Chains A and B, each alone.
Chain A
Amino acid sequence: MELKLELDPARMPVAVAFVESAARTAGFEEREYALLTLSVEELFLALCNAMPGCEVGLKFRDLRYAAEVCFHFPQPPPDLRIFNITTRPDHETDEGLARMGLFLASRACDQFSVQQIPQGGWEILLRKERRYPAAGQPFTPPTQLKPWSISDTPSPDAVKQLSGLIAAQYAATQFPEEFTPEGRLLDKLASSDYGVLLAQTDQGELSGGLIWRTAERRIVECFGPYLNNPADSGLLVDQLCERLCLQFGRSRFLGMVLYAPQALPPSAGFEPSGALETPNGTVWTGYRMLDEEFGAVAWLPQELLPFYTRWSSSMALSRDIREYHDSGETGDGLTLFGSRLNRAAGMAQLTPLLVGRDAGQVLAEHLDLLDNEGYTTVCCTLDTGHPFQSLLGQHLLASGFIPRILVPWGGKGDLLQLYRQRVQQ
């Protein structure tokens, strides 16, 4: 559903009513959408203030597991630093108080992002997820695991089994939080952004499974295989991975990245692209290019050249590697991180949406906050297709981040995943 209206405070109730009625029609409960409409209200007013009279487009998407509102406007966004999770408005000044609503509203959403879009203009996206009850029955490992057949349209009951298997047998660091509880996983799979491959015996018992999501524009992110009996499942890993390649082999995607809770044999068809060790378990990352390699320019800070060169060479990527030199240009002007928090695993993901000269300071503030809140693993990505993101590299390394994983074509260019891990006191 879409709505276009002028940025005028008098129109704010129209925007709010649009989102509220769309969310209600999509079956969201008031307690779920109330915070989203609050966010819309505050963001709309902030935009009215920043670019009065401009036309803004509002788009509502029912993702089933979440309600999503997208603001589309023609000019660069106003000062969006308020959306950094570290920002604390000043109660003592009028300006600070004016920003308080926006600050609170931004915290009310589960996901926020801002981007310049190729068709022209800018987008701010707000997403509020549904709430789900905890899992029902605990997972009981089946007795018979073979022979299996693989399905990409399993029954809801089988998906619940997979969610139970993941929760019961894997560390929280080895799967995305959204795969549990089972209701949330089912809703994710019902949207077009997610899919699953399940191996089941003739009696319907679960041997293992693999989940994918296509939220990223060019890369399919895959997780698993999650197996009932990891010690005896080499063939199952190969077959699940092959089915995945068949599914996406002739598609718009350039590649697939697989975050696996066990090392992947070469026969699975994924190339090693790094790994993350945590005290509870390792995540092994495999990459599968789906197309033939046509090369790219990669911008990097000098400090990350050894890691990148090693991996791009091991993966035989054709890259024109260029070292980024800071020439004092303005760049994005300010620094803004998108953040995703996985409290159960103690993991936080920072995605640089805008990188400015305040990058070091903003990063330090984020790390202080995350440290204080007990996050032991923080991931930050750098995109080799954005020269200016290189500015962040030195600050990441100085803050204890170590490059671990390379995802070719994961962003505009290749994505480097850097991790900072702390031992919990």
Chain B
Amino acid sequence: MNLPPLDLLVPQHVRQFEAYVPSPPDSELRKMFGVERLVRMNNNENPFGPPPAAAAFLKSFDPASVARYPSGDCQPLRIRLSDYLGIKVSQLLFGNGANEVISFVIKAFCQQGDNIVTADRTFAVYEWIARFSGVGVKLAPLDDFGFDDEGLLGLVDSRTKLVFICNPNNPTGSWWNRERLTRFLDRLGPNHIVVLDEAYFEFMDQPDYPDGISLLPQYPNLIIFRTFSKMFGLAGLRIGYLAGSEAVVDIVRKTAIVYSVNSIAQEAALAALDDLEFIRATRAMVQEGQQMLAEQCAALKLPILSSDCNFAMIKLPFSDTLAYRLLMQQGFMIRTMTGFRFPGWIRVSMVKRDEMRLFCDALARLVHSRTDQSMLAKTYGVSAS
């Protein structure tokens, strides 16, 4: 049988979209690059794994229970989390990772002809989901590596349904303080939904870093995203949530997929929730890693964007995608930033002290080996002219 007429069946916005290709499994990558061990510094995961209580739950998990469906709307977890956050249960909605929650929100508010507004160099998933859903995307350039309020406001029009603010921004780590955020919300007004992505909320302990959830009573057009993938080390279980005013969450619930969060993820999240000691230990690891990396970059004369989060960006004097391959050959997996519209930069996730020390050494070897100008003509394979 012939293929169906895909030209006719597939909407143009889907045809034009290029599918994201995730990295192969670690076992395959190790084989490809000829290394026995791979240190993952590409996805901003927590190298400690989940908090001890969540780890204990996972160890004791009864396989027989997977025969039953999970709670379709994560009710036990929402009850517990609402208590923790001081909001109503009905203000919370869970998804299979924050990515799914982004999808719920775009589906709930946008139709063809509408647009979303965000920054040009931020978490790419807002843009991707909008594009393959046939929704317009308007991107404001970052200003000095941070979200530019004037630029964003300048792009908003009557068809703008959603404005996405990543706070702190992935990958630059920049963030708006409470005063700047509320000023922006006041100027934007109530006619658009503002999505505040706080995926790295638990890493932030600066007094003027705004807790978006505390702003909900004042700004009912606000939606907050959070995740259990970063600080809580549950990335492999895929669980994230949003919080908003009841009226807004009720709308989003219409496009949410029930039963999409599995029971293991729900139980592990419950166990992970309030382990403050784990959060303190992770923050200490992050701080130490940022310091080690900053010192190494200073010694190598490499510009670095350190952050309060568990990642930093480094500007290399050569291709970031080449650096990826060369670092993979040394057993370190970083994230190239060309796809984030930062060519020549890499993003490095914080890891434990010993691994970070080894990474700093690998970075030094890489930089020294690739910046020797006298080798240039030889490398090209022709005589210098």
Contacts and interface: CB of A to CB of B under 8 A. Distances in A.
Contact of A249 (B6, B24, B318, B343): B343
B344 A245 contact: yes
Contacts of A242: 343-344
A251 B373 CA distance: 31
A288 interface: yes
B381 A294 contact: no
A119 B6 contact: yes
B380 A293 contact: no
A289 B321 contact: yes
Contact of A245 (B24, B317, B343): B343
A315 B377 CA distance: 15
B339 A289 contact: no
Contacts of A267: 317-318
Contacts of B342: 249
Given A274-B381, A275-B382, A282-B385, A249 B339 contact: yes
Interface string B130-174: 000000000000000000000000000000000000000000000
Interface stretch (B65-73, B95-103, B283-291, B324-332): B324-332
B144 to A, nearest CB: 17
Given A245-B343, A265-B376, A289-B319, A119 B3 contact: yes
Most buried by B among A285, A295, A314: A295
B344 A290 contact: no
Given A246-B341, A282-B385, A316 B326 contact: yes
Given A245-B343, A291-B339, A263 B322 contact: no
Given A242-B344, A282-B382, A263 B32 contact: no
B23 A292 contact: yes
Contact of A318 (B18, B33, B319): B33
A269 B376 contact: no
A84 B357 CA distance: 60
A209 interface: no
Interface in B299-354: 317-322, 324-326, 328-329, 336, 338-344
Contact of A265 (B21, B32, B344, B373): B373
A289 B322 contact: yes
Interface of B: 2-3, 6, 18, 21, 23-24, 28, 32-33, 124, 317-322, 324-326, 328-329, 336, 338-344, 370-371, 373, 376-377, 379-385
8 contacts: A250-B340, A266-B373, A272-B381, A275-B382, A289-B322, A291-B321, A292-B321, A316-B325
Given A263-B376, A271-B322, A291-B338, 6 more contacts: A242-B343, A266-B318, A275-B381, A289-B321, A289-B322, A293-B32
Please provide the 6 A-B residue pairs with the shortest distance between their CB atoms, ordered closest to farther.
A245-B343, A316-B325, A289-B321, A252-B18, A318-B32, A295-B32
